[in-house]
């Protein structure tokens, strides 16, 4: 991705974020909201950020495991740097910019983009399934039909894609058809490579393991939200923890369905609504909690992405790195 283009997208995302947070502050009454934030036990912020790092770290391990499954010749260090830069891509609509990871892997390893792109797809699918499973804990407890429909729609779409990929005769028919369509036939071989890798990664034995890994990573992020809830006066307890984990993951699913950069607007509004409905927070406290957890997740990740890009800008270049053989260990 061109860095100038990425910079423009980030500026637009920052503008959208500013509008969303102004609306959230107005919704929560900025005077009460600032009072609540001032009274928050900020000593709890490091554990919240630590749990976010657990989420990032577990997802990184899954990403590298996937790359090894498709026999990509890349070291863990290079894999981690690429993954770090990709946190910036969360600020692209629907996170489609995360597929830039495939180009970065190509730059350092020579692996075909069409093959590595299947890793990004498999990662997003299995993360989505894990979030929906965690969200399911509280789905029946909410009255908001929109949130329920968003979760069900996301589940159906993910399940349909996985099932379709596993029906090989159907996939081969579409691929053969692609060879006969004038414009599509230029990409038919790459589509075939993408399909074969996707089919391999989404087989049941890998799918189940990946979803289990996703449950660990997204449960840790949900637990971070639980700590934020405690800081704003929610009573501690196992039920409260489960509800917080569920609310966070439901909101993340809504953000994915909305497909704005970083889920802006969808995640924040869902977090605030669910905090009020399921956890009994006041409007100001719900708005403050949404702001704080988004700082500790989305914007913490963006900061990591900016740092990684500043340290290793060559990974986004379009030319393959001439020192690939020296970097792969």
∠ Cα 193 313 295 (to 5°): 95
pTM score, whole prediction: 0.87
pLDDT value, residue 148 = 67
State how far the Cα of 11 lies from the Cα of 263, in Å rounded to an integer.
Answer: 16
**Confidence (pLDDT) at 247:** 92
Whole-angstrom Cα Rg for the chain: 21
What gap in Å lies between CA 169 and CA 110, rounded to an integer?
Answer: 30
Q: What is the pLDDT of residue 284?
A: 94
- Distance (Å, whole) CA 72 – CA 54: 25
H or E element in which residue 265 lies:
none
Per-residue pLDDT of the chain (329 residues; tens, 9 = 90+): 566 777 777 788 888 888 999 998 888 888 899 999 999 999 999 999 999 999 999 999 999 999 999 999 999 999 999 999 999 888 877 667 788 899 999 999 999 998 999 999 999 889 988 998 888 766 655 666 676 677 777 778 888 888 888 888 887 887 787 777 877 777 777 778 888 888 899 999 999 999 999 999 999 999 999 999 999 999 999 989 988 999 999 899 888 888 788 889 999 999 999 999 888 999 999 999 999 999 999 999 999 999 999 999 888 875 544 444 333 33
CA distance 22 to 316: 33
- The whole-number pLDDT of residue 95 equals 66
Q: Which residue has the tokens 């393959």?
A: 320
State how far the Cα of 306 lies from the Cα of 89, in Å rounded to an integer: 10
């Amino acid at each position: 991705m061109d860095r100038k283009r990425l910079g423009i997208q980030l500026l637009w995302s920052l503008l959208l974020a500013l509008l969303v947070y102004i609306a959230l502050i107005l919704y929560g009454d900025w005077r009460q909201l600032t009072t609540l934030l001032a009274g928050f036990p900020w000593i709890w912020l490091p554990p919240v950020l630590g749990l976010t790092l657990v989420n990032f770290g577990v997802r990184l391990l899954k990403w590298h495991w996937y790359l090894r499954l498709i026999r990509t010749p890349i070291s863990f260090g290079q894999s981690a740097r690429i993954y770090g830069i990709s946190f910036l891509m969360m600020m692209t609509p629907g996170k489609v910019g995360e597929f830039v990871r495939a180009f970065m892997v190509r730059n350092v390893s020579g692996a075909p983009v069409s093959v590595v792109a299947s890793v990004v797809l498999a990662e997003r699918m299995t993360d989505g399934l894990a979030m929906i499973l965690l969200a399911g804990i509280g789905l029946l407890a909410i009255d908001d039909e929109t949130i329920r429909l968003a979760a069900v729609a996301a589940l159906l779409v993910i399940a349909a894609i996985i099932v379709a990929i596993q029906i090989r005769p159907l996939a081969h028919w579409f691929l053969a058809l692609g060879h006969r369509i004038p414009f599509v036939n230029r990409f038919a071989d790459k589509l075939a490579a993408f399909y074969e890798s996707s089919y391999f990664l989404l087989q049941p034995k890998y799918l189940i393991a990946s979803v289990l890994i996703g449950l660990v990573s997204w449960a840790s992020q949900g637990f971070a939200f639980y700590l934020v809830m405690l800081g704003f006066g929610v009573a501690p307890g196992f039920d409260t923890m489960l509800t917080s984990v569920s609310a966070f993951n439901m909101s993340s699913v809504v953000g994915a369905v909305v497909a704005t950069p970083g889920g802006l607007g969808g995640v924040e509004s869902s977090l605030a609504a669910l905090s009020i409905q399921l956890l009994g927070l006041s409007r100001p406290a719900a708005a403050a909690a949404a702001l704080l957890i988004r700082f500790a997740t989305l914007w913490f990740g963006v900061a990591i992405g900016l740092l990684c890009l500043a340290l290793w800008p060559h990974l986004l270049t379009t030319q393959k790195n001439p020192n690939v053989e020296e970097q792969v260990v």
